[in-house]
Amino acid sequence: MASSNSLEFLPDPGVDVRQLFILLHGVGGSPDNLEPLALAVRKAFPAAAVLVPEGFEPFDGGGAGRQWFSVRGVTEENRPERVAQALPPLEAYVRQAQARFGLLQSDTALAGFSQGAIMALELVQAHDGMAGRVIAFSGRYAQLPRSAPQYTTLHLLHGADDPIMSVADIQAAQARLTELHGDSTIDVATHVGHELHPALIERAIMRLQTCVPLRSWEAALGLNQTPPDGSTVH
């Protein structure tokens, strides 16, 4: 399903693949837009496979870019349905990548920028635990969640001056996740707009390297959780 314009960064020869990162670009963008993030992930996690697929649709706003779903005429009311229709191909892509490398859902991280962040957040909302982590840059939910993923840790990163995706929306989403006993972090960079800023990339890597998932603390405290069907949680 990924095209020849997709990017992938694999571990050095002789190094077993132990983690999978799938990075999703923004509307009208391309995999090349996420190369700085891909390189940072590869440096921090040398045993990871880093895949950067193209959006599965050509951008309908002109140019050579791609999209995950159309934003032409998008409203708060119709956005959830558009996202829902776009999720099955992404779900299939993630499952194929996990099978390719023989990795578990808990070994998988999804990272997205802007529209790609919407897709990552909504994929684990629809399929709890499909990835152990989601890193959402300059994104939002299609609609505020009614429940929180119990097997996915969410890292939300945003520019305080974002004119496209309001920081207030992601702050409201994080507050809702907290109310729902979700496992999430939020980092807001001052004087940063709608961009994959180096400060946000650096913060994301730090979160990935240092944040212990809430479910791991609960397991250590003897608060047993049952993983969703077809996955292993650790």
Q: What is the pLDDT of residues 79-114, one digit of tens each?
A: 999 999 999 999 999 999 999 999 999 999 999 999
| From 6, 70, 169, 194, the catalytic residue | 194
Torsion, Cα of 81, 27, 154, 86 (10° steps): 30
So what's the pLDDT on residue 219? 56
**pLDDT-based confidence at residue 62 (cuts at 50, 70, 90):** confident
Containing structural domain, residue 41: 4-219
Decide if 42 is inside a domain: yes
Q: Please, which residues bridge with residue 135 across strands? A: 111, 155
| From 114, 138, 184, 231, the catalytic residue | 114
Assess whether 169 carries a catalytic annotation.
no
So what's the pLDDT on residue 50? 98
Assess whether 12 carries a catalytic annotation.
no
Q: Which of 39-43, 48-52, 60-64 has the lowest mean pLDDT?
A: 60-64
| From 162, 183, 197, 231, the catalytic residue | 162
| Position 213 pLDDT exceeds 90 | no
Q: Which of 31-35, 37-41, 222-226 has the lowest mean pLDDT?
A: 222-226
Assess whether 25 carries a catalytic annotation.
no
So what's the pLDDT on residue 59? 96
Structure tokens at 23: 């990075």
Decide if 234 is inside a domain: no
Decide if 228 is inside a domain: no
Decide if 231 is inside a domain: no
| Position 233 pLDDT exceeds 50 | no
Alpha carbon of residue 206 to chain centroid: 16
Residue 138 maps to which CATH number? 3.40.50.1820
Tally of domains in the chain: 1
Region 50-73 average pLDDT: 95
So what's the pLDDT on residue 5? 86
